[in-house]
Amino acid sequence: MRFSSYVEKMGGGDTAAVHDAWSVHGKARQRQRAGEDIILLSIGDHDFATDPRIVAAAKTALDGGRHHYTPNLGEPATRQAAVDFHQRAIGEAITPDHVAIVPGAQAGAFTAAMAVLDAGDEVICFDPMYVTYAGVIMAPGAVMRFVPLRPENGFQPDPAEVRRAVGPRTRAIMLNSPHNPTGAVIPRAVLAALGDIAVAHDLWLISDEVYCTMTFERPHVSPRLIDGLRERTLSIYSLSKAFAMTGWRMGWVVAEPAVVDRLDFVLGSMLFGTPPFSQDALVAAIATAFDETSRIRDLYRRRRDVICDALAALPALKFSRPEAGMFLMIDVRGTGMGSLDFAESLLAERNVAVLPGEGFGASQAGFVRLSYGTDEATLAEAARRIAAHVSALTGAGQRATVG
Ligand SMILES: Cc1ncc(COP(=O)(O)O)c(C=O)c1O
């Protein structure tokens, strides 16, 4: 039997480095499940439960018989809740016909790609990037054209490099700010410069803004706020990070109504409406538990500081302090090791799991991604173990400053 070239490509040679990188996480999970004391800093999930106010709304919905199909684009109250989120978090007034409810940002990206890309189209992507965009962009048969994000440039996109990468087949730019894995936030001026390129070449902007509420230094700016970009932007949001609801699979795409009409076709084919009880949870999150977004942001700012302050004492590790989100990219080349060897040895010898940078793009060889989605005491302990490891590798006798 023959499989589609889509699934074959995703399991194939091009993605071997990504699979190798993620195998570190797989091994760590296996050892943790077997009862070992593993500190898992390899994935982007919260270590605490969803707020009880939100859980109660879902229970009430289930007890009240909310068990049936819903409209493709979401129920009116759910779309209105997304409108309210957009006003509060993004600062733009929109109407419910700008919203398509989707089961998480991942599905939002997939839906957007299926609606605006054709086979052979090129999409400008940044390296490093959130790795699942590859499968999203390849689904309609489009191809990725990578532009590097350079650490010396604060992992910011360079509009001049983007302009050079645009060719006759370019159809879209895949944006992600705040960024996974680097924690960089694209400033308005850079966004505007990228927007100028999009306008000049009539490109879509697929804008993953899933970390929009988790900025520590300066507020997130959506491309929708920049003049002339609204009609070409599909902005993607979800409850996963903002409200600690990764397992609920609820998110939405904001776009102009004519675009949302097209998303409706895709959603009717792949989904046929999100669960009504999850939609009630979304409404409750935004209407009654919005304070969770600032609580979570402040918690992560402290976590970022704990891990960054501790690791700053290790000259063999280089990083810039993330401005947002839950991840830190660390250049480990000063230890004399590459990223895969560093991550594997850190797990084998110190029971700490981080992800080799190759999991996010070829440019990240020599980096590891550390998720600070765990409590401060565990992060401090992780920092001690990392310090011991680095010290053994470099023979420098360095010590983390925490605890
Ligand atoms: C940049 C980015 N986009 C999308 C997602 C997926 O989010 P969701 O749970 O809403 O599908 C993640 C999850 O880690 C992410 O980091």
In the chain the domains, ranked by start, together with CATH numbers, are 5-49+292-393 (3.90.1150.10), 68-289 (3.40.640.10)
Closest CA to 355 of 335, 371, 376: 371
Query: Does the beta carbon of 222 lie inside 6 Å of ligand 1?
Result: no
**Rounded to the nearest whole angstrom, what is the distance from the C-alpha of residue 85 to the centroid of ligand 1?**
17
**Rounded to the nearest whole angstrom, what is the distance from the C-alpha of residue 210 to the centroid of ligand 1?**
6
**Rounded to the nearest whole angstrom, what is the distance from the C-alpha of residue 313 to the centroid of ligand 1?**
31
Residue count (the chain): 403
User: What's the CA dihedral at 237, 240, 244, 246 to 10 degrees?
Assistant: 170
Per-residue pLDDT, 283: 98
Per-residue pLDDT, 72: 98
Per-residue pLDDT, 91: 98
Query: Does the beta carbon of 44 lie inside 6 Å of ligand 1?
Result: yes
H/E element, 60: helix 52-63
The 3-state DSSP class for residue 48 equals coil
> Distance of CA 213 to CAs 2, 57, 252, 294, 394, Å?
44, 22, 15, 7, 38
**Rounded to the nearest whole angstrom, what is the distance from the C-alpha of residue 182 to the centroid of ligand 1?**
14
Please state the separation of Cα 183 from the chain's center in Å.
9
User: What's the CA dihedral at 155, 160, 164, 169 to 10 degrees?
Assistant: 80
Closest CA to 129 of 332, 329, 374, 352: 329
Q: Distance (Å, rounded) from C-alpha 336 to C-alpha 140? A: 41
Please state the separation of Cα 100 from the chain's center in Å.
19
> Distance of CA 286 to CAs 62, 213, 354, Å?
19, 12, 32
Query: Does the beta carbon of 176 lie inside 6 Å of ligand 1?
Result: yes
Closest ligand 1 atom to the C-alpha of 179? 1
The 3-state DSSP class for residue 169 equals coil
**Rounded to the nearest whole angstrom, what is the distance from the C-alpha of residue 209 to the centroid of ligand 1?**
9
What pTM was estimated for this model as a whole?
0.95
Q: Distance (Å, rounded) from C-alpha 238 to C-alpha 218? A: 20
Instruction: Tell me the two tokens of residue 75.
Output: 């129920």
Partnered with residue 144 across adjacent β-strands are 123
Closest ligand 1 atom to the C-alpha of 251? 10
Ligand 1 atom 14: the closest Cα is on which residue?
44
Per-residue pLDDT, 396: 66
Bridge-based pairing state of the strands 327-331 and 367-371: antiparallel
Enumerate residue ranges in the chain where pLDDT < 50: 397-403
Query: Does the beta carbon of 238 lie inside 6 Å of ligand 1?
Result: yes
Query: Does the beta carbon of 240 lie inside 6 Å of ligand 1?
Result: yes
Closest ligand 1 atom to the C-alpha of 176? 1
Per-residue pLDDT, 256: 98
H/E element, 39: strand 39-40
Query: Does the beta carbon of 275 lie inside 6 Å of ligand 1?
Result: no
Per-residue pLDDT, 402: 45
**Rounded to the nearest whole angstrom, what is the distance from the C-alpha of residue 106 to the centroid of ligand 1?**
6
Burial of 394 per CB tally in 10 Å (0-12, 13-18, 19+): middle
Query: Does the beta carbon of 198 lie inside 6 Å of ligand 1?
Result: no
Closest CA to 231 of 261, 201, 255: 255
Q: Distance (Å, rounded) from C-alpha 91 to C-alpha 194? A: 21
Query: Does the beta carbon of 42 lie inside 6 Å of ligand 1?
Result: no
**Rounded to the nearest whole angstrom, what is the distance from the C-alpha of residue 137 to the centroid of ligand 1?**
15
Per-residue pLDDT, 401: 46
Closest ligand 1 atom to the C-alpha of 130? 1
